[in-house]
A and B are shown apart, each in its own frame.
Chain A
Amino acid sequence: MNRRRSIRAALAPAVVGIGALLCGAGGVRAAPVTVQVTAGGGAPAVDAVVVFEPRDRVPPPAHADAIIDQIHKRFVPHVTVIRTGTSVTFPNSDRIRHQVYSFSPAKVFSMKLYAGSPKRAVVFDKPGLVVLGCNIHDTMLAFVLVVNTPYFAKIPASGTASFDLPPGRYSMRVWDEALAAPVPARPVVVAAAPLQLSIALDLAGTHDPVAAWP
């Protein structure tokens, strides 16, 4: 999975960028926050997800769209972070058919066996981690992390993600599919000054991605 991170990294800034744009629309001056996430040995934990949840307010649901493609019997991207209420379409770029399903409590669904683009998108209306599979191909796996905040990012190859956060109190949560247990949420107070944070993840244990996002 780590090997795939370089591909997904190209899309990640765009998602963060949208979040920042939405925040800036509130008219409040935001402060730059950078988070560096490393795995064992100081290597960048690519595709790890960093989420800042405001502790003082609940952001309204978004009505956004997202696409998770299926290319060469793989979900692309492998990890997707979306705001609650986002509609995700699952186009099939393969010539074979796939049957996407999820038994995760945050979103249980099963699409009919299909090829090409499905007729309708799936709306992820509850926050939580959703594990996607294909009933035909056991090896196909994808994670959709549904969050109630616009402030989230996937760690790119540089190992550092940048946020523009309005001042306030936040809980910073980090998730990686290779984690064995949840990383405790970290309270972060954002003032006007830039903030630089770093987290080292322990990815050595038995992977339990579901347990890592309670």
Chain B
Amino acid sequence: MSDTHAESVAFVRESVIPPAPPPAKEAGAIRWMRENLFATWFNAILTLVALYLIWVLLSGVVPWIVNGTWQGSSLAECREILQGNGGGCFAVLRERWPQLLFGFQYPDYLRWRPVLAFFLLFVAVPPALFVMFLPRWTLIVTAIYPFLAYWLIWGGTILTPLFAALGVVAGYLAFSFTERRGFVLGLAAGVVTALAVWWIGGLLAGEFSRFLRLEAVVSRAMGGFMLNLVLGIVCVSLSLPIGILLALGRQSSLPVVKGFCVVFIEFVRGVPLITLLFVANVVLAFFLPPDANFDLILRVIIMITLFASAYIAEVIRGGLAALPKGQYEAADSLGLDYAQAMRLIILPQALKISIPGIVNVAVGLFKDTTLVSVISMFDLVGMIRGPILASTAWAGIYWELWAAACLMFFVVCYGISQYSQWLERQLQTDHR
């Protein structure tokens, strides 16, 4: 083998050494355990502690699920069926499932509408989530969805959401026609057109309020997990554009604009969401026209949106700051004006970098929608704490309900954060 001699330096290998299997001291599984679980004595102790913990957890949870019952219409009946075998009383979930999902005021014969809206979500969201794989026109479905969902959940004539959508479309068209004559002009034209369409639409919808009408449901009737989802989705979508504007404002060189944005962002980020919900609950009404009726849900949406937009603004500011300075200079040297540079060059890149951060904010905000239960709205947490735990049939049951709540939130939040990680990897490979 060793034909290398230090004296005669020259050496040539004539035959190739084939790869050999590693020296196997033990069989695969035992070796793996030795390396990954019992490498040192400290590691071995850790392993044992971890195993003990897992055993404790499983020995509590497994019998609870396996022995659990879905029968019975009250805790007493449940206990009778279970005979103290340690099983869970999941009957409460079976019986109160609609309440957990929709709250206790949404008319039961109309529940098919939010259910339909929920399932349409799975058609509407993929085009936005997987832009890179689906044809761009599918985004239209996403764009239509909010208006459709509004109509399904709240009811009323279809003219309301229709004109709302028309206003947006008309505004956008007006903007893109006049934009060439200057961004500000375009913006003004767009806003004016949209407002005009909305105004006309409002009149028409009032006039023909029976046209293609679904039975209207008041906002107060919203509840359960549906309320969390509605608040989460609406507030995140609304806060995105506001957040972008705030981020740009904070970066701007105009002291008035910059100052306002800084004060707003720092103020909102400095106070807890609860205090903003208090504002929505008891203070905001002072500052709105006395005759207009903004119901609680709308006020809450306003405040949560403002809250979210401050956080999103900070994320986007991070994205803007992370862009190399060369990008700004390149945009300038191409002769683009501020609006064009931002829209065509800076923002697309900055938003791309910010996506993981935005998703984090979205997940956090979705979790924070449970706080509305503190101002006596009946979201999922509010339903459990209020009507269900206070009912005579189910007072004294808690593990099953909280486990259900945990599971529902976990599925949504974990799903979103996994998506964000996937997207992050996707974008990383894009860059190379």
Is the A/B pair a real complex? no
List residues of A whose CB falls within 8 A of some B CB. none
